[in-house]
């Protein structure tokens, strides 16, 4: 348990994750764009890192939890970045949700300087982060995963090694594809019921036990019936993840005909001002379209 | 249990259903287009009905299990049809999967002659029919359902009253919408994984426990990984049901943007000769498209 851990990116997800590492007893150096979250973590026992290079210089394992691909590239490879400070034999775990292809490129750039990298995006949201109950999808070398497993176990309850570098991000993209497409399908079905004069609650109940049954029908279907769209997972974040899906599909020439439409629906919802509502509000987007059509 | 039951339509689903009614002790009169299935049921104890009117004349409750809307209209309202022979106070249960709007019209036409009607489409497939374990989604008057419940209990294990006439068919349409859209989403995700060099089995496993988890990911996802597309539920039947969804959506001006694409994929799969494979073969359709694009 002696590994010194660095944590870069103290946002909604990163903050509780860093806190769980402190609670698990890991010596922790933190850095983030905003001073507030850093001050908070320092008050709780972490050490301040002046920049990513500084964090790397005093850590055996550096975790990044950042909004987008370009952020991870800047923090790892940019001036004052992790690569400038990282010691040979150290490990970077990128837990952000970003593009698989640039992930593989960063993996290679770090490997050339004897720094290992895992991609380890998560699902489970803010609640999972707070509870240390995230699902973690890991791409990269299995021996590297074995070494950092005790660290990841402080953050999540399910840790799946998916495959080589980039596989964790591909898996996360698949997850976000299925989740958004299922939400859209449930929304279309419940709206069809409602507009046919049929009680959506009865339909949800009748469908739950059969082949139409899913976690989404259960949870997000209920949100649609309740008109309860507080996040949860924000539509604008799912729109960002949809872009990753689209880029991964384009890069591999994979047809995603139905998801392309779902991505458009996410974009329309953002454009309509629903970006900060839960992704179940894809239902509200359909309702708007139905109203403007009649 | 003294109700005399008529059964019209001894296809793949109707035959085992009629058999279960005989086994439950209901006096049964049967009719079907083909003589073979009628002979079979008569050998097992049923009475032959010369035409739908004849079946109705000797039954308190008439069940129809037919391929499409026009078949049900012909059998109920056409020459020699159920309405010609039905006694006032008798009940028609249409267990076919057909359009909600014509269902309501037939309900009204029968009601004018004091014949009640329930729409009671099922899910569970041939296996559910054989096992008497269908899920039955019922539209129509609740008191009528109460009277025929012992009959339906010989056919299914889950009997949900959804709402007034047509509601059962709306519910079935919602079911078929969600099932096909989820299959397509899982197919797109697993193909994206595969074409990204990632093991689809690991992705399925990683996704099953979270929000992407569904019965479809579990069952049909596995079929995709195994390339095992024996039906199951045939694509051409799902294409038929998709048309019902599209007509119900058009009639109620309900936007179904993602399902419209899924319906196209079903059609393409039928056009490619996959109509008699399981609907999980939407995956095979995507594979074809990926190949022809590269």
Most A-contacting residue of B176, B257, B278 (CB-CB within 10 A), to test interface = B257
Distances (CA, A) of B47 to A142, B30, B43, B57: 68, 6, 9, 13
Here the tokens at position B237 are 């039947």
Q: pLDDT of A253-265, one tens digit each?
A: 999 999 999 999 9
Nearest chain A alpha carbon to B190:
A174
Per CATH, A5-163 and A170-292 having the same topology is answered no
Tell me the backbone φ, ψ of residue B233, rounded to 5 degrees.
-105, 125
Contact criterion met (CB below 8 Å) for B165 and B139:
yes
Each domain of chain B, given as residue ranges in start order, spans 5-163, 170-292
- Beta-carbon contacts of B177 under 8 Å, excluding residues fewer than 6 positions away, are A185, A188, A189, A192, B242, B245, B256, B259
CATH for A170-292, among 3.50.50.60, 1.10.1040.10, 3.40.190.10, 3.20.20.80? Answer: 1.10.1040.10
Selecting from A177, A188, A215 the residue whose C-beta is nearest the C-beta of B259 gives: A188
**Is A192's CB within 8 Å of B174's CB?**
yes
What integer is the mean pLDDT of B260-275?
A: 98
Measured CA to CA, the distance from residue A250 to residue A99 in angstroms comes to 12
Partner B, chain A 11-50, Cβ-Cβ below 8 Å: none
Here the tokens at position B21 are 């009614």
Q: pLDDT of A145-185, one tens digit each?
A: 999 999 999 999 999 999 999 999 999 999 999 999 999 99
Q: How many CA atoms lie within 13 A of B176 on its CB side?
A: 34
Cβ-based contacts of A179 with chain B (< 8 Å): 211-212
Contact criterion met (CB below 8 Å) for B224 and B280:
yes
Q: Are strands B61-64 and B116-119 parallel, antiparallel or unpaired?
A: unpaired
Q: In the beta sheet, which residues pair with residue A161?
A: A138
Does residue B210 sit at the A interface (CB-CB below 8 Å)? Answer: yes
Cβ-based contacts of B121 with chain A (< 8 Å): none
Measured CA to CA, the distance from residue A48 to residue B239 in angstroms comes to 60
Nearest chain B alpha carbon to A158:
B206
Here the tokens at position A131 are 């509870």
Sign of CA dihedral A187, A193, A195, A198: negative
Cβ-based contacts of B175 with chain A (< 8 Å): 189, 206-207, 210-212
Nearest chain B alpha carbon to A260:
B258
**Is A171's CB within 8 Å of B206's CB?**
yes
Here the tokens at position A123 are 């699902």
Q: pLDDT of B279-291, one tens digit each?
A: 999 999 999 999 9
Is residue A293 pLDDT above 90, yes or no? Answer: no
Partner A, chain B 120-149, Cβ-Cβ below 8 Å: 123-124, 135, 137
Q: Is the ipTM beyond the 0.90 threshold? A: yes
Does residue A217 sit at the B interface (CB-CB below 8 Å)? Answer: yes
Q: What is the pLDDT of residue B209?
A: 83
**Is B166's CB within 8 Å of A196's CB?**
yes
Q: What is the pLDDT of residue B294?
A: 63
Most B-contacting residue of A100, A103, A196, A291 (CB-CB within 10 A), to test interface = A196
Selecting from B123, B185, B248 the residue whose C-beta is nearest the C-beta of A196 gives: B248
CATH code for A5-163? 3.40.50.720
Closest to B52 in 3D by CA, of B35, B26, B72, B37: B72
CB atoms within 10 A of CB A89: 9
Q: What is the pLDDT of residue B293?
A: 80
Q: How many CA atoms lie within 13 A of B73 on its CB side?
A: 11
**Residue A40 burial (C-beta neighbours within 10 Å; 0-12, 13-18, 19+):** middle
Closest to A185 in 3D by CA, of A213, A210, A205, A206: A213
Q: Are strands A116-119 and A47-48 parallel, antiparallel or unpaired?
A: unpaired
Four-point Cα dihedral A201, A203, A204, A205, nearest 10: 90
Does residue B287 sit at the A interface (CB-CB below 8 Å)? Answer: no
Q: Work out the minimum CA distance from B180 to partner chain A, whole angstroms.
A: 9
Active site residues of A: 172
Q: Work out the minimum CA distance from B269 to partner chain A, whole angstroms.
A: 14
For residue A271, the 8-state DSSP code is I
At residue A232 the predicted structure's pLDDT band, cuts being 50, 70 and 90, is: confident
Q: First vs last Cα of chain B: how many Å apart?
A: 63
**Is A207's CB within 8 Å of B286's CB?**
no
Most A-contacting residue of B207, B233, B269, B291 (CB-CB within 10 A), to test interface = B207
- Beta-carbon contacts of B271 under 8 Å, excluding residues fewer than 6 positions away, are none
**Residue B88 burial (C-beta neighbours within 10 Å; 0-12, 13-18, 19+):** exposed
Q: Work out the minimum CA distance from B44 to partner chain A, whole angstroms.
A: 32
Catalytic residue among B172, B215, B240, B268: B172
Q: pLDDT of B6-49, one tens digit each?
A: 999 999 999 999 999 999 999 999 999 999 999 999 999 999 99
Spell B8-23 as b/e; 16+ CB within 10 A means b.
bbbbebbbbbbbbbbe
Measured CA to CA, the distance from residue B185 to residue A30 in angstroms comes to 39
Q: Work out the minimum CA distance from B176 to partner chain A, whole angstroms.
A: 8
% of chain B exceeding 90 in pLDDT:
96
Here the tokens at position A140 are 């990269």
Q: pLDDT of B128-148, one tens digit each?
A: 999 999 999 999 999 999 999
Q: Work out the minimum CA distance from A128 to partner chain B, whole angstroms.
A: 11
Taking each continuous run of H as one helix and of E as one strand, the counts in chain A are 14, 9
Q: pLDDT of A5-51, one tens digit each?
A: 999 999 999 999 999 999 999 999 999 998 999 999 999 999 999 99
- Residue A6, classed as helix, strand or coil, is strand
What is the CA angle B248-A217-B276, rounded to 5? 60
**Is B162's CB within 8 Å of A219's CB?**
no
Spell B195-206 as b/e; 16+ CB within 10 A means b.
bbebebebbbbb
């Amino acid at each position: 348990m002696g590994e010194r851990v660095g944590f870069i990116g103290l946002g909604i997800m990163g903050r509780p994750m860093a806190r769980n590492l402190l609670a698990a007893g890991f010596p922790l150096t933190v850095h983030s764009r905003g001073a507030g979250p850093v001050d908070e973590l320092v008050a709780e026992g972490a050490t301040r890192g002046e920049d990513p290079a500084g964090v790397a210089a005093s850590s055996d394992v550096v975790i990044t939890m950042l909004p987008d691909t370009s952020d991870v590239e800047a923090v790892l490879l940019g001036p004052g970045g992790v690569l400038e400070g990282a010691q040979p034999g150290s490990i970077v775990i990128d837990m952000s949700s970003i593009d698989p292809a640039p992930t593989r490129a960063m993996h290679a750039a770090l490997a050339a300087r004897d720094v290992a990298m895992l991609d380890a995006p998560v699902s489970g949201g803010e609640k999972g982060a707070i509870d240390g109950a995230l699902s973690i999808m890991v791409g990269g070398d299995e021996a590297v995963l074995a070494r950092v497993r005790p660290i990841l176990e402080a953050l999540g309850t399910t840790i799946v090694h998916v495959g080589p570098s980039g596989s964790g991000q591909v898996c996360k993209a698949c997850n976000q594809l299925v989740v958004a497409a299922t939400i859209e399908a449930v929304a279309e079905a419940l709206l069809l019921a409602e507009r046919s004069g049929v009680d959506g609650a009865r339909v949800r109940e009748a469908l739950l036990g059969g082949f139409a049954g899913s976690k989404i029908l259960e949870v997000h279907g209920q949100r649609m019936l309740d008109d309860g769209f507080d996040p949860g997972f924000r539509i604008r974040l799912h729109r960002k993840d949809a872009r990753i899906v689209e880029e991964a599909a384009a890069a591999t020439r994979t047809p995603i005909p139905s998801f392309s439409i779902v991505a458009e629906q996410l974009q329309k919802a953002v454009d309509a001002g629903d970006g900060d509502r839960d992704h179940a509000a894809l239902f509200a987007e359909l309702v708007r379209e139905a109203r403007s059509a009649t």
